[in-house]
Structure 1
Amino acid sequence: MEWLASPELLAMLFVAAIVAGFVDTLAGGGGLITLPALLLAQVPPVAALATNKLQASFGTLTASWRMVGSRMVRWRDVRGLFWAAVIGSAIGTLLVQRVDPSILDILIPVVLIGMALYYLLAPDTTEASQPRIGEPTYRNTVAPAIGFYDGFFGPGTGSLFAFTRNTLRGDSLLDSTARAKIMNFGSNVVSLLLFALGGHMVWLAGGVMILGQLIGATLGSQMIVRGRVQWIRPLIVIVCVAMAIRYFWQSAI
């Protein structure tokens, strides 16, 4: 893949990673930006998924470090969620290397539009609310299921974690976003390791994008730590709609 050494392509991937790291930290869905950028650079699909995990792992690591360091979340409170996401992601990553993931193109837009409509039309969910399911149920079912999706495909995982914590567990939008970073890091890093063992990584592109992710995730984390949650809800709507449009567009062509 010598063409990826092109300064223009590497600059494009770097900028895409900065924007993705910022958006992903606040609302999830950074893969909407980075995965198409890698495919545009003519990286083969499985290698694009693998390289996307490489750079995304550093973004979620940065965000998770800030969440724990600022005491917005405590490790003992999210440890079980982290490992549940890890287990689901490991299964999804192993499976995607053996089957055609195109079936997700039918299901994902429906889920994304549903999430966007909820945040657009539902009452304000900034504050905590009454949980609809217990924490053990969430940890044993929802967290590994979303982790599986992240390992199998990926874009929108952060949004799904935040959305389900907010709607099913009643976490405030700020708390659900903070917890989502920890779970998303777990699902990212195990997927990264399994993809790397499978030999699918494009290291040059991934290395350049890591630098961009670190910048974007740091900026996004600063906004969350400062409590600027007014940005999160509209970003989730925009990201979900944009991702759904991309899927519909891709299927149309």
Structure 2
Amino acid sequence: MLDISFAFIALLLVTGLIAGVINTLAGGGSNLTLPALMMMGLPADVANATNRVGVFLQCLVGVRDFDRHGKLDTGGVAAILWPTLMGGLAGGLCASLLPNVLLKPLLLGTMVGMSLIILLRPATVMPGPDEHPKSASGNTSAWWALMLAGFYGGFVQAGVGFILIAALAGVLRYDLVRANALKMLCTAAFTAVALAVFIWNGQVEWVPGLILAAGTMTGAKLGVRLALKVSQRALKWFLFVMTLCASAAALFW
């Protein structure tokens, strides 16, 4: 029996708001929302599925607002979306079928790895001022990076923003603002695929999912405003701090 008390509604709205900001600027917001959903009594797999409602709607808001400010690069977007969609479908199917015990080690390993990359090789997510974005079309490295990001996002979701930024800023060399805009578009795409799988399997609890979404959508709007105001350097350090927080959260998941 779900606890839909006022306290839990407030918890979902607040954690959703914070997660929406974090997910728009970096990633890892699901490390807040997943525990909040599980505190309501949802099993890990149902919480993982229900969380996608907020993620999907948050991404739609973020994509719209980035596009309004001219920060969404739509040229060649099909070459970026196809591998993420394929990966998201495979990841969603695996999440529905494989045991929950695989979620924590995958999340922890990914977050620790990203933290080390950002600390030791910051140029990976910080293209130089004179660099121009590369096309994803015919780019094998980008294809595999986006495919793996989609799979990870479809499977566990938490922290997928970091993986997408590594692919978009690291491999394709987008600046962090445009990488975040494309990240949200990719996340919306593969989350829609994964969410369809979860809905088909009856794993989504709509009431907490939509309450959470109200918070994440508001957070996404705030996150876009911040992304447009802060410097690339500030975004890089925020990204690093969030990967450390995500790593710590994974230890106690």
TM-score for both structures, normalised by structure 1: 0.89
In structure 2, the partner of 1:27 is 26
In structure 1, the partner of 2:175 is 172
Within-5 A mapping of 1:146-185: 146-185=149-188
1: CA distance, partners of 2:117 / 2:94: 31
The amino acid of 2:58's aligned partner reads G
- After TM superposition, give the deviation of residue 178 of structure 1 in Å: 2.1
The amino acid of 2:209's aligned partner reads G
In structure 2, the partner of 1:120 is 119
Q: Comparing 201-210 with 82-91, which one deviates more in the overlay?
A: 82-91
Q: Comparing 193-202 with 210-219, which one deviates more in the overlay?
A: 193-202
Q: Comparing 230-239 with 200-209, which one deviates more in the overlay?
A: 230-239
The amino acid of 2:251's aligned partner reads F
1: CA distance, partners of 2:103 / 2:212: 25
- After TM superposition, give the deviation of residue 130 of structure 1 in Å: 7.8
In structure 1, the partner of 2:52 is 53
In structure 1, the partner of 2:190 is 187
**Matched-pair contact (CA < 8 Å) for 1:109–1:248:** yes
Gaps of 5+ in 1: none
- After TM superposition, give the deviation of residue 70 of structure 1 in Å: 2.2
1: CA distance, partners of 2:36 / 2:136: 39
Shift in CA distance, 218/41, structure 1 to aligned 2, threshold 3 Å? same
2: CA distance, partners of 1:90 / 1:131: 27
- After TM superposition, give the deviation of residue 131 of structure 1 in Å: 7.9
SS at match of 1:93: helix
Shift in CA distance, 218/142, structure 1 to aligned 2, threshold 3 Å? same
In structure 1, the partner of 2:104 is 105
1:201 aligns with 2:204: yes
1:70 aligns with 2:73: no
The amino acid of 1:69's aligned partner reads R
**Matched-pair contact (CA < 8 Å) for 2:2–2:40:** no
Q: Alignment partner for residue 244 of structure 2, among 241, 244, 251?
A: 241
Shift in CA distance, 10/74, structure 1 to aligned 2, threshold 3 Å? same
- After TM superposition, give the deviation of residue 77 of structure 1 in Å: 2.6
In angstroms, what is the RMSD of aligned CA positions? 2.3
- How many residues are treated as equivalent by the alignment? 249
Q: Comparing 205-214 with 139-148, which one deviates more in the overlay?
A: 139-148
Q: Percent identity?
A: 24
**Matched-pair contact (CA < 8 Å) for 2:107–2:156:** no
TM-score for both structures, normalised by structure 2: 0.89
**Matched-pair contact (CA < 8 Å) for 1:149–1:157:** yes
Shift in CA distance, 138/175, structure 1 to aligned 2, threshold 3 Å? farther
Residues 52-89 of structure 1 show CA distances to partners (whole Å, capped at 9, x for unaligned) of 00111011111111222322123343222123212211
Shift in CA distance, 59/175, structure 1 to aligned 2, threshold 3 Å? same
Shift in CA distance, 8/118, structure 1 to aligned 2, threshold 3 Å? same
Gaps of 5+ in 2: none
Shift in CA distance, 35/123, structure 1 to aligned 2, threshold 3 Å? closer
- After TM superposition, give the deviation of residue 248 of structure 1 in Å: 2.3
In structure 1, the partner of 2:9 is 10
